Structure 1
Amino acid sequence: MISHRNAATGRPRRGLRRRVAAVAAASAMAAGAACTATGPTSKAGGQAPPTVLRLALAEGAGVPYAPAVERFAAEAHERSDGSLVVDIDWGDMPIDPEGEVLLVDEVRAGAADLAHVPARALDLAGIDRLRALQTPLLVDSLALADAAVGGEVGADMLDGLGAHGLVGLGMYVENLRRPVGYRSALVSAADFDGVAIRAQPSALSYRVLETLGARPSMGVGYLVDDTGERFAAAESTWSGDYPFPRGSTFTGNVVFFPKVNVFVAHPDRFAALTTRQQEALREAASRTERWWATERRASEEELTEAWCLRGGRLAMATASDLASLHAAVRPLVAELEADPVVGADVAAIRELGETLPAMELVPPRWCAPPTGDGARLNP
């Protein structure tokens, strides 16, 4: 059955939701595993039907993270010995501006059993537990992001979702978010002043950009803001084929924060599962995180080269540029650190960062920008 309507709000959807069962997704795993797995037996002695869990998403099936979602569904089916089927309920394409936060409402209301939610959207639903991941200029590499999400600090964040009516199953790092200027490079705090910048809805993300002097909104696509004014920049990633204007410039060594996606469950739906099924969902999320980070996600070097091959430009902030950015966001960082829970997470992530190599983005020689404080763009 294809759903045309938001289950929680009754609002008509602009596009169809394509529903994909985990049994189909499992074909990408070991051949025949989904078909031969045996689930629990019924009282009559036969095999009981599998438990079907609806997994809600905000976007359609063409998104870059679709393989991670399908992997999670397949892993849940396999790890539960076939007793779980995760039915993927793809959302709107293009994305509804409210779509990400509505996912949280759907799960809390019991209209969806599971959801795949970007961590950035949780604060719009009154959930601040993952805000440390959005702390500006803190998580500046995939290595640090993976270590935070997959380690003790990430586990504590997931546990903290219980106080907000959600069960945190796991999360993974999709990409890093950087500034991309449509007309000129954004490398220092002064470059953001008054700039209309496209960004996905998030209370903290918008505060970061506003602190730098920019005017964030989601707008209509990537080119026009909510008032009809043309965007001059975006908070985005170079890991997708997004419709940036020709000649747009990413700043390679400025990372606002990572984009982290979270798998969550309705508490009562989760509690109704067997212990093995609960373990299977958590294990599926964990295995998806490792698979995405080690096998699926492209490296920063590969993404840099792909961006340059598409004709994109690259800028690198100088030491003085970076100092201006850190100075501009310092009051906001201090505010986050003052929160006992978020501050502890920020400190833990910063401590993790001290154990890892500093971010070192080495662009292809033919795409490398000139060096020196006055030379910012590639030739």
Structure 2
Amino acid sequence: MSRSPKVVAIVKSANLWAAILAFGMLLAAASCTYRDSTEDPTQAATTANPRPKVLRLGTQDDANVPTRGQIEEFARQVEDLSGGGLVIEPVYRAGGDAEGGWDQRIAKRVISGDLEMAVVPARTWDTEGVLAFRALSAPFLVTSSAMISEVVKPDYARGMLAGLKDSGVSGLVLFPDGPRVLFSFTVPILTLADIKGMVIRAPLSATNYAVLESLGAVPRDLADQEFGEEVESGTVGGAESSMAYASNLPRALNRTGHAIATGNLVLHSKISTLVINDKAKAALTEEEQQVLQEAADATRDWASSLLSPLSSEARKYCENGGKVVLATDQQIAAFRDAAAQVYRVLEQDADTRNLIARFRDLAARTPGDPAVQPCDFDTY
């Protein structure tokens, strides 16, 4: 029996819709099969390209000074060695600007886990119950770039860093910085009489403060704004600092406007600790912990290779308008004699006493830096 043209058209239309429906069901089945085999697409992407672990590293520095360069180099080393799996995120001025004690606040932040890592000056730890680094601040002992590059090596650093045990952080390495000298905002500091009763701005440290007090000075830990105001008012007469940081000092009350450095009176040298919070460290794999250690070691060696003798830093300071004066041998001897009482306190601790002896032996066989040359007002 033949069908009418209208019926044929209806049948053809029905067959077409059936074919479309079947094709749609096939696509849906394929789609379901694809999702079942790969799980959630977002989760799959995360598995294939996991997010890097970010470790925040705190420091008080934010200018073009040694610490910042070391942190940037460490971050680069970590990223390279981990293939991007670990990222160091610097947190500058992590101790704040409102008041003194900023290094101690950074130490507390990393101990509490508020920061995963930090670069903390070794001098800081003696106010936090860690006494292992005090020999580094012993007066007139670690005073040259050659000495600095030696004491940060594992032979010396390992024992000091072990002193952080039970503090809540682990030490990775010591980073070198530079010799610390006295700067005056008025007249040069050449004798004990020049510094007697003078308020000296210095970062908080029990050992460093004991040294300054033995010389007759009054050490104070001042935030930047307060520091500048008290120099301008004449309340603060000087500062303990490195030549590399001298450009950050307030304007002096002399005709050059620059602080006067006593270039051959090195009290001690600034050396920093690179530390990691113990819980943050435990959350890393052994491989990741090894990456941090290797990066830290490489950064220490890199930083040591860049150390300049104090004479070079003093020359740069002079070229930028600063003033550098020199004390006589007799005047330096008087400063040393006055600070001898600090050793009697430090050497009551056996470990500190032994380390001081090792440093003295090292100093005796380590060549000194070239002599610092003075520059005077008339040059500028």
Instruction: Give yes or no for TM over 0.5.
Output: yes
Counterpart check, 1:263 vs 2:274: yes
Conserved 8 A contact 1:140-1:254: no
Between 327-336 and 189-198, report the one with greater CA deviation: 189-198
Q: Distance in 1 between matches of 2:290 and 2:370?
A: 38
Structure 2 residue runs of 5 or longer lacking an equivalent are 1-43
Q: Distance in 2 between matches of 1:362 and 1:59?
A: 26
How many equivalent pairs are there? 328
Q: Distance in 1 between matches of 2:211 and 2:229?
A: 21
Q: Give the aligned partner of residue 291 of structure 2.
A: 280
Query: Quick one: which amino acid aligns to residue 266 of structure 1?
Result: N
Q: Cα deviations across residues 240-266 of structure 1 (Å, max 9, x unaligned)?
A: 312341253211111111111211011
Conserved 8 A contact 2:148-2:178: no
Query: For residues 130 and 121 of structure 1, do their structure 2 counterparts lie closer, same or farther at Cα, with a shift above 3 Å needed?
Result: same
Q: Distance in 2 between matches of 1:244 and 1:310?
A: 13
Q: How much does 1:191 deviate?
A: 2.4
Query: Quick one: which amino acid aligns to residue 69 of structure 2?
Result: P
Conserved 8 A contact 2:215-2:335: yes
Q: How much does 1:61 deviate?
A: 5.6
Q: Distance in 2 between matches of 1:253 and 1:342?
A: 26
Aligned equivalent of 1:346, options 350, 356, 359: 356
Q: Distance in 1 between matches of 2:282 and 2:211?
A: 37
Q: Give the aligned partner of residue 294 of structure 1.
A: 305
Q: Distance in 2 between matches of 1:299 and 1:141?
A: 7
Give the alignment's Cα RMSD to 1 decimal. 2.7
Q: Distance in 2 between matches of 1:79 and 1:56?
A: 21
Q: How much does 1:378 deviate?
A: 8.9
Q: Cα deviations across residues 139-188 of structure 1 (Å, max 9, x unaligned)?
A: 11111011011241112111221232210011211121101122222123
Query: Quick one: which amino acid aligns to residue 105 of structure 2?
Result: L
Conserved 8 A contact 1:192-1:212: yes
Query: Quick one: which amino acid aligns to residue 231 of structure 1?
Result: V
Query: For residues 339 and 112 of structure 1, do their structure 2 counterparts lie closer, same or farther at Cα, with a shift above 3 Å needed?
Result: same
Query: For residues 224 and 120 of structure 1, do their structure 2 counterparts lie closer, same or farther at Cα, with a shift above 3 Å needed?
Result: farther
Query: Quick one: which amino acid aligns to residue 70 of structure 2?
Result: A
Counterpart check, 1:169 vs 2:172: yes
Query: Quick one: which amino acid aligns to residue 159 of structure 1?
Result: A
Counterpart check, 1:182 vs 2:193: no
Q: Give the aligned partner of residue 30 of structure 2.
A: none
Q: Any residues of structure 2 matched to 1:226-237 within 5 Å, and which?
A: 230-237=235-242
Q: Give the aligned partner of residue 48 of structure 2.
A: 46
Q: Any residues of structure 2 matched to 1:173-252 within 5 Å, and which?
A: 173-221=176-224, 222-225=227-230, 230-240=235-245, 241-242=247-248, 243-245=250-252, 246-252=257-263
Q: Distance in 1 between matches of 2:363 and 2:276?
A: 30
Q: Distance in 1 between matches of 2:132 and 2:229?
A: 32
Q: Give the aligned partner of residue 330 of structure 1.
A: 340
**Secondary structure of 2:189 counterpart:** coil
Conserved 8 A contact 1:223-1:230: no
Conserved 8 A contact 2:99-2:222: no
TM-score, normalisation: structure 2: 0.79
Q: Give the aligned partner of residue 144 of structure 1.
A: 147
Q: Distance in 2 between matches of 1:308 and 1:177?
A: 17
Q: Distance in 2 between matches of 1:152 and 1:368?
A: 41
Q: Give the aligned partner of residue 26 of structure 2.
A: none
Q: Distance in 2 between matches of 1:94 and 1:293?
A: 29
Query: For residues 59 and 303 of structure 1, do their structure 2 counterparts lie closer, same or farther at Cα, with a shift above 3 Å needed?
Result: closer
Q: Distance in 1 between matches of 2:183 and 2:160?
A: 30
Query: Quick one: which amino acid aligns to residue 361 of structure 1?
Result: A
Q: Which has the larger radius of gyration?
A: 2
Aligned equivalent of 1:70, options 69, 72, 95: 72
Query: For residues 133 and 195 of structure 1, do their structure 2 counterparts lie closer, same or farther at Cα, with a shift above 3 Å needed?
Result: same
Query: Quick one: which amino acid aligns to residue 60 of structure 1?
Result: D
Query: Quick one: which amino acid aligns to residue 302 of structure 1?
Result: S
Q: Give the aligned partner of residue 6 of structure 2.
A: none
Aligned equivalent of 2:321, options 300, 307, 311: 311
Aligned equivalent of 1:88, options 62, 87, 90: 90
Q: Any residues of structure 2 matched to 1:120-139 within 5 Å, and which?
A: 120-139=123-142
Q: How much does 1:342 deviate?
A: 1.2
Query: Quick one: which amino acid aligns to residue 90 of structure 1?
Result: Y
Query: For residues 72 and 101 of structure 1, do their structure 2 counterparts lie closer, same or farther at Cα, with a shift above 3 Å needed?
Result: same
TM-score, normalisation: structure 1: 0.79
Structure 1 residue ranges (4+ consecutive) displaced by more than 4 angstroms after TM superposition: 61-64, 92-96
Q: Distance in 2 between matches of 1:205 and 1:323?
A: 19
Q: Distance in 1 between matches of 2:376 and 2:365?
A: 28
Q: Distance in 1 between matches of 2:354 and 2:283?
A: 33
Q: Cα deviations across residues 277-323 of structure 1 (Å, max 9, x unaligned)?
A: 1111112122112212213x444233121111222222212121111
Query: For residues 88 and 247 of structure 1, do their structure 2 counterparts lie closer, same or farther at Cα, with a shift above 3 Å needed?
Result: closer
Query: Quick one: which amino acid aligns to residue 305 of structure 2?
Result: T
Higher helix share: 2
Structure 1 residue runs of 5 or longer lacking an equivalent are 1-41, 370-376
Q: Cα deviations across residues 86-142 of structure 1 (Å, max 9, x unaligned)?
A: 122222564741321111211221222111111121122221111111111111111
Conserved 8 A contact 1:196-1:214: yes
Between 300-309 and 134-143, report the one with greater CA deviation: 300-309
